[in-house]
A and B are shown apart, each in its own frame.
Chain A
Amino acid sequence: MKEFAGRFLAHRGAVLGGTILALVLILALAAPVAFPGDPFQRVGESFEQPLGPFLFGTDSLGRDVAAGVAHGARTSLMIGLVATVIAVVAGSAVGGFAGYYGGILDDVLMRTTEFFQTIPTFVFAIVLVAVLSPSIGSIVVAIATVTWPPVARLVRGEFMAMRNREFVQACIILGMRDTAIIFREILPNCLSPIIVTGSLMVATAILIESALAFLGLGDPNVMSWGFMIGSGRTFLRTAWWLCAIPGLAILLTVLSINLVGEGLNDALNPRLRNR
């Protein structure tokens, strides 16, 4: 564990990413305290410049952009995390069973996975949200539905390789049950690639959520970065900050998550680096 921390901290990009991510997290947690009340509330004049009475200025309806960014961070991170957790759990289960048992079960599960992969991700997400009607729940479901297949393929590959390792065969000979072998013996040995992929999927999920909100398919009762960019885009020439500030927030968050993911990858698979 100490070694792992050492390798992670030796990766400069990962430390920078981790710092930014921590700041975003603090912002999200502090939002109800720093900006109490509804972020949709009118607080002042329309189109106040940034660094005026309000740090990030106000939008066309006089709403505080800073409050929107802070509350939007909650939405983005929450959706990103929950959707990823669902996708990773579902993907690992499908991939794990397919890889361990092989044969017909593998065929059925993998053809199903491929079916999901043939539909363009974002179009599929739009369709799902449109059908389920926009809400936090449906957005999470939509994002998880379009992002699990790559996890399933990854985990299947890992399981197929592990399945024939001698330590797994030794467990079979000891009389261990399949479920115990899958979850207690093989899965812990596949965790590093799953963690790395999962961390990068959080970034993808945040992007998908923002894009959905930008198209007006976000939850109408929840402030989000994508919604802010969407509603500010008509004023791009007169009030640049309406799009630029939440845009920058997305950029920094996604970048920081990617950096952290890369750092995790290097720290968890040190042998790949020391070439």
Chain B
Amino acid sequence: MEDEDVLRIRNLSVALPIGADRAHAISDLSLDLRRSEILCVVGESGSGKSVTALSTMGLLPRRLRADSGQILFKGEDLLRVPPVRMRGIRGHSISMIFQDPMTALNPLMTIGKQIAEVIAVHGGASRAERQRRIYAILDDVRLPEPERIANAYPHELSGGQRQRAMIAMALVLEPAVLIADEPTTALDVTTQAQILRLIQELQAGHRTGVLFITHDFGIVAEIADRGAVMQNGLLVEFGDAEQVLNRPRHPYTRSLIAAVPTLAPNRCARTAVARELLSVRGLEKSYSSGGGLFGRSARVVRAVHEVDFTIRRGETLGIVGESGSGKTTVARCIVRLLEADSGRIELDGTDLRALGGADMRRYRKRIQMIFQDPYASLNPRLKVGRLIAQGPLIHGTSLDEALERAYRLLDLVGLDRRAADRFPHEFSGGQRQRIGIARALALEPEVLIADEPVSSLDVSVQAQVLGLLADIRERFQLTMLFITHDLRVAAQVADRIAVMREGLIVEYGPVEDIFGNPRHPYTRELMDAVPGKDWAIPNADDTVARPSDGG
């Protein structure tokens, strides 16, 4: 491998507008990217990793400005080149792929036209030559039938195909540097695995330097040659991937890695002596779209088909699956946010589906839910104390008593009692999720349904929230239905696991069986797709830095 640096970032500082929570988005950052390597920049939200990518492309939002340092690309300082030159470099020598291919592609142009545009603006090639290169690159990114894809609009492709098209667009001119800003975060795990493999192959084939921005250490383990860890705008660790992952030097890196859940189930399923509390039998739910007054036939999608499971008191069932697998629909049918088409949902022997409005309201106390998005799940106009007290108030508790309970719950979820007088927007994502948990607990439910409760949180916050959930589950003997797309999380929280695909439960069993001996091919595919599955996360005690590793 050549060690020639294609991109050198030297002492880069980017100032934040006055009044932001810190003065610099990134300060004094020095990094270099070699030809033909994948360099992963890892960090939590707000660490400055995306700002690094954007300043390299000259795409910083107007509020931000690089106030010192250099970004050297083949001897040219990208911070100081005139706009005309920068346009010549973008797309031609340095290109970028984004997190969400749906918004990054123009919805009104076919894929072929968008790629042709890239070639055309960099002064390239006859029509026939362009056509040839488009088909070639679409074939390179493993899109089936390049001719058909070239004539398709973005909405006609799946998420994974769109990301492939984006990659094709970025690589068609064989740039020396590819910047990838969380390109797989919006994708399902199996698609993510394919895209990661594709990026790796293309990178090796074209000898591209890839600057890969991610929040996921699993991805670092999967593809990186070298890794850089950022915290609050500072580069805290930079080295070979193997060293960063297994022998991290900086305490922050160590704490991040310790927060990554391991794939090994952390306990055995408790012996099933407890009574069945929640049982779902033959649950069916279809959505129909289209159709209507003028007799067009409606398109019917079977979201949930023949779903059966039971949860015993005190047990946690994890439902895992990719998007569109029907896992969220199951949760919503159980709490009757959606009406199932048929089947039984029995709580302690009572069929919830048969209950009328007033009876159902009484049963609602016993099943509560935690939502995915901590920003959307709290009413922005209510103070936190009131939010938590809401449930008991509805069910006839006096205001004083409900507020008293809210205070106790704030203690329980690890927030200050003074939080009760503040509004949700004053809290961070993790704190809001704690508020959401307190609200669900205020009714003292027996069953807690958690729909991706940690998937929008940073890994260290995620670990704290998972810890809190484990703690309250033990303390209140809660029965939990935990929905997640993340197998690592599922391995940590669940006693038993149901794997869903296209509305069906394809495999169902104790967590150690599912992880130790997956039987269904789809389960195996999911397991294989987990990024960094072969990386044994070092034990926190083993990762103490050894000075001899310096270099």
Q: Name A residues whose Cβ lies closer than 8 Å to a Cβ of B.
A: 165-167, 169-177, 180, 185, 188-189
A241 CA to B377 CA in the complex, in Å?
Answer: 60
Counted as pairs of residues, one from A and one from B, with CB atoms less than 8 Å apart, the total is 55
Q: Cβ of B376 < 8 Å from any Cβ of A? A: yes
- Besides A170-B378, A174-B364, 14 more A-B contacts (Cβ < 8 Å) are A166-B376, A167-B377, A167-B378, A169-B369, A170-B436, A173-B337, A173-B367, A174-B390, A175-B391, A176-B394, A180-B394, A185-B379, A188-B381, A189-B379
Cα(A189)–Cα(B380), bound, Å: 8
Contact residues in B for A172 (Cβ distance below 8 Å): 337
In B374-429, the 8 Å CB interface with A consists of 376-381, 390-391, 394-395
A175 touches B376 (CB 8 A): no
The smallest beta-carbon distance between B517 and chain A, in angstroms, is 37
Closest chain B CB from A275 CB (angstroms): 10
B373 CB → nearest A CB, Å: 6
**In the bound complex, how far is the Cα of B380 from the Cα of A167, in angstroms?**
9
Cα distance A169–B334 in the bound complex, in angstroms: 13
In whole Å, how far is B80's beta carbon from the nearest beta carbon of chain A?
Answer: 27
**CA of A166 to CA of B390 in the docked complex: distance in angstroms?**
15
Contact of B372 among A166, A174, A188, A189 (CB under 8 A): A166
**Interface code B482-495, partner A: CB below 8 Å = 1, 0 otherwise?**
00000000000000
Assess whether B122 is interfacial by the CB under 8 Å rule.
no
How far, in whole Å, are A174 and B387 apart by their CA atoms in the complex?
A: 11
- Residue B312 CB within 8 A of the other chain: no
Q: Is B74 an interface residue (CB 8 A)?
A: no
Asked whether B377 lies within 8 Å of A174 as measured between CB atoms, the reply is: no
Residues on B with C-beta less than 8 A from A185 are: 379
Q: Is B439 an interface residue (CB 8 A)?
A: yes
Once A173-B368, A174-B443, A175-B364 are accepted as A-B contacts, the answer to whether A167 and B335 lie under 8 Å apart by CB is no
Which of B360, B365, B369, B381 is A170 in contact with, Cβ under 8 Å? B369
Q: 8 A-B Cβ contacts within 8 A?
A: A166-B373, A169-B369, A169-B371, A170-B371, A174-B439, A175-B362, A175-B391, A176-B394
Instruction: Tell me if A's interface is mostly helix, strand, loop or mixed.
Output: helix
What A residues does B197 contact at CB under 8 A? none
Cβ of B361 within 8 Å of any chain A Cβ, yes or no, is yes
- Give Cα A177–Cα B390 distance, bound, in whole angstroms: 12
Q: Give the residue among B367, B372, B394, B436 with the most A Cβ atoms within 10 A.
A: B394
Contact assessment for A170 and B377 in the assembled complex, using a CB-CB cutoff below 8 Å: yes
A165 and B394 form a contact (CB under 8 A): no
Contact with A along B190-211 (1 / 0, CB 8 A): 0000000000000000000000
Given A173-B335, A173-B337, A175-B394; A166-B364 close (CB under 8 Å): no
Known: A167-B377, A170-B439. A175 touches B361 (CB 8 A): yes
Contact call A174/B391, Cβ cutoff below 8 A:
yes
Chain B: which residue is nearest A176 at the CB level? B394
- Shortest C-beta distance, A176 to chain B (Å), equals 5
B440 → A minimal CB distance (Å): 8
- Interface members, chain B 420-463 (any A CB < 8 Å): 436, 439, 443
Q: Are B391 and A189 in contact (CB under 8 A)?
A: no
Q: A188-B381, A189-B381 are in contact. Are A173 and B376 (CB under 8 A)?
A: no
With the chains together, A166 CA to B373 CA distance in Å? Answer: 8
Q: Report yes or no: A167 in contact with B379, Cβ–Cβ below 8 A.
A: yes
* Chain B residues whose C-beta falls within 8 Å of the C-beta of A188 in the assembled complex: 381
Q: Which of B367, B372, B380 has the most CB of A within 10 A?
A: B380
Q: How far is the CB of B93 from chain A (nearest CB, A)?
A: 31
Residue numbers in B under 8 Å from A180 (CB-CB): 394
A180 to B361, CA, bound (A): 14
A171 touches B390 (CB 8 A): yes
Chain B residue, CB-CB nearest to A178: B357
- State the Cβ distance, B228 to closest chain A Cβ, in Å: 32
For B337, the chain A residues whose CB sits under 8 A away are 169, 172-173
CB neighbours of B395 from chain A (8 A): 175
**Shortest Cβ gap from B199 to chain A (Å):** 34
With a cutoff of 8 Å between Cβ atoms, the chain A residues found around residue B439 in the complex are: 170, 174
- Chain A nearest CB, measured from B446 CB (Å): 14
Per CB-CB distance, the 7 closest pairs between chain A and chain B, nearest first, are: A166-B377, A175-B364, A175-B361, A174-B391, A166-B371, A166-B376, A167-B379
A187 → B minimal CB distance (Å) = 10
Question: Which of chain A's residues have a CB closer than 8 A to the CB of B394?
Answer: 174-176, 180
- Residues of chain B with a CB closer than 8 A to A166's CB: 371-373, 376-377
Residue on A with the closest CB to B370? A170
Interface centre among B379, B394, B439 (most CB of A within 10 A): B379
Instruction: Name the A residues within 8 Å of B367 (CB-CB).
Output: 173
Q: Which residues B336-363 have CB closer than 8 A to chain A?
A: 337, 360-362
Report the minimum CB–CB distance from B538 to chain A (whole Å). 37
Closest to B337 in A: A169
CB-based nearest B residue for A166: B377
Q: How far is the CB of A180 from chain B (nearest CB, A)?
A: 8
For the complex formed, measure the closest distance between the CB of A94 and the CB atoms of chain B, giving whole angstroms.
Answer: 22
Minimum CB distance partner of A275 in chain B: B62
Q: In the complex, what residue of chain A is closest to B374 when comparing beta carbons?
A: A166
Residue numbers in B under 8 Å from A165 (CB-CB):
376-377
B436 partner residues in chain A, CB cutoff 8 A: 170
Q: Which residues does chain B contribute within 8 Å of A176, judged by CB atoms?
A: 390, 394
Give the Cβ gap from A219 to chain B, nearest Cβ, in Å: 41
A189 to chain B, nearest CB (A): 6
User: Closest CB-CB distance, B67 to chain A, in whole Å?
Assistant: 22
